Structure 1
Amino acid sequence: MDFLTSYNLIIEASVIIILSFFFGEVSRKTNIPSVLMLILLGIGLKFVLDAVGGGDLNFDPILEVLGIIGLIMIVLEAALELKLRKDKYLPIAKALGIALIGLIGSTWIAALILQEFIPGMDTKTAWLYATPLSILSSAIIIPSVSGLTEVKKEFHIYESTFSDILGIMLFYFLTGQIDAAEHSSGLAGFAGNLVLTLVISFIASYLIILVFQNIRSHVKLFLLIAVLLLLYSVGKQMHLSSLIIILIFGLLIANMQLFFRGPLSKWLNLEKAKGIYEGLHVITMETAFVVRTFFFVIFGLTISLASLASLNVALVSGLIILSIYLIRFIILRIFVGADIVPQLYIAPRGLITILLFNAIPTEVRVEGFEAGILLFIIIATSLIMTFAMIYDKRRTSRAVKKAQDNPVGYVRWKAPSISVGPEEKETH
Structure 2
Amino acid sequence: MTTYTALIILSGLVIFSYLFDMISKKTRVPAVLLLLGLGIGLHFLVSYIGFKTFNFLTILPALGTIGLILIVLEGALELKYDKEKNGLILRSFLSALTILAGTSIILALILQHLSGATFSACFLNAIPFSIVSSAIAIPSSKNMADHKKEYIIYEASFSDILGIVLFNFMLNNPSVKLGSFVNLGMETISILLLSVVSCLFMLYLLSRLQHHVKFFLILSI
Normalized against structure 1, the TM-score is what?
0.49
Equivalent position of 2:22 in the other structure:
25
1:131 aligned residue (127, 133, 141): 127
Superposed displacement of residue 9, structure 1: 2.0
Tell me which structure has the larger Cα radius of gyration: 1
- Is the CA contact 1:138–1:164 (under 8 Å) kept in the aligned structure 2? yes
1:134, 1:34 → 2: CA distance?
A: 21
SS of the aligned residue for 1:213 comes to helix
Higher relative contact order (CA 8 A, sep 6+): 1
2:193 aligned residue (196, 199, 218): 199
Superposed displacement of residue 202, structure 1: 0.4
1:223 aligned residue (196, 217, 220): 217
Residues 188 and 85 of structure 1, relative CA distance in 2, 3 Å threshold = same
CA deviation profile, 1:8-62 (whole Å, cap 9, x unmatched)? 2212211221111010011011101112211221123223322442357532121
1:141, 1:110 → 2: CA distance?
A: 21
1:51, 1:65 → 2: CA distance?
A: 27
Superposed displacement of residue 168, structure 1: 0.9
2:46 aligned residue (36, 44, 49): 49
- Is the CA contact 1:176–1:183 (under 8 Å) kept in the aligned structure 2? no
Q: What are structure 2's unaligned runs of at least 5 residues?
A: none
Q: Which letter does structure 2 place at the counterpart of 1:224?
A: I
Q: Which letter does structure 1 place at the counterpart of 2:30?
A: P
Residues 82-101 of structure 1: matches in 2 within 5 Å?
A: 82-101=79-98
Root-mean-square deviation (Å): 2.0
- Is the CA contact 2:68–2:134 (under 8 Å) kept in the aligned structure 1? no
2:181 aligned residue (176, 187, 192): 187
Equivalent position of 2:114 in the other structure:
117
Normalized against structure 2, the TM-score is what?
0.91
- Is the CA contact 1:46–1:55 (under 8 Å) kept in the aligned structure 2? no
SS of the aligned residue for 2:211 comes to coil
- Is the CA contact 1:95–1:158 (under 8 Å) kept in the aligned structure 2? yes
- Is the CA contact 2:132–2:160 (under 8 Å) kept in the aligned structure 1? yes
1:5 aligned residue (2, 6, 9): 2
1:110, 1:55 → 2: CA distance?
A: 38
Q: Which letter does structure 1 place at the counterpart of 2:105?
A: W
Residues 110 and 47 of structure 1, relative CA distance in 2, 3 Å threshold = closer
Equivalent position of 2:170 in the other structure:
174
Superposed displacement of residue 104, structure 1: 0.8
2:150, 2:205 → 1: CA distance?
A: 32
Superposed displacement of residue 73, structure 1: 2.0
1:49, 1:28 → 2: CA distance?
A: 29
Q: How many residues align?
A: 221
Superposed displacement of residue 142, structure 1: 0.9
Tell me which moved more, 196-205 or 146-155: 146-155
SS of the aligned residue for 2:59 comes to helix
SS of the aligned residue for 1:32 comes to coil
Q: Which letter does structure 2 place at the counterpart of 1:64?
A: P
Superposed displacement of residue 72, structure 1: 2.2
Residues 132 and 47 of structure 1, relative CA distance in 2, 3 Å threshold = closer
- Is the CA contact 1:138–1:160 (under 8 Å) kept in the aligned structure 2? yes
1:152, 1:220 → 2: CA distance?
A: 30
Q: Which letter does structure 2 place at the counterpart of 1:149?
A: A
Residues 147 and 219 of structure 1, relative CA distance in 2, 3 Å threshold = closer
2:205 aligned residue (187, 208, 211): 211
Superposed displacement of residue 185, structure 1: 2.3
- Is the CA contact 2:72–2:138 (under 8 Å) kept in the aligned structure 1? no
Q: Which letter does structure 2 place at the counterpart of 1:164?
A: D
CA deviation profile, 1:190-247 (whole Å, cap 9, x unmatched)? 111111111111011101220233222333322332x23xxxxxxxxxxxxxxxxxxx
Tell me which moved more, 50-59 or 86-95: 50-59
Residues 28-427 of structure 1: matches in 2 within 5 Å?
A: 28-54=25-51, 57-119=54-116, 121-178=117-174, 185-225=179-219, 227-228=220-221
Percent of residue pairs bearing the same amino acid type: 40
Superposed displacement of residue 188, structure 1: 1.5
Tell me which moved more, 45-54 or 155-164: 45-54
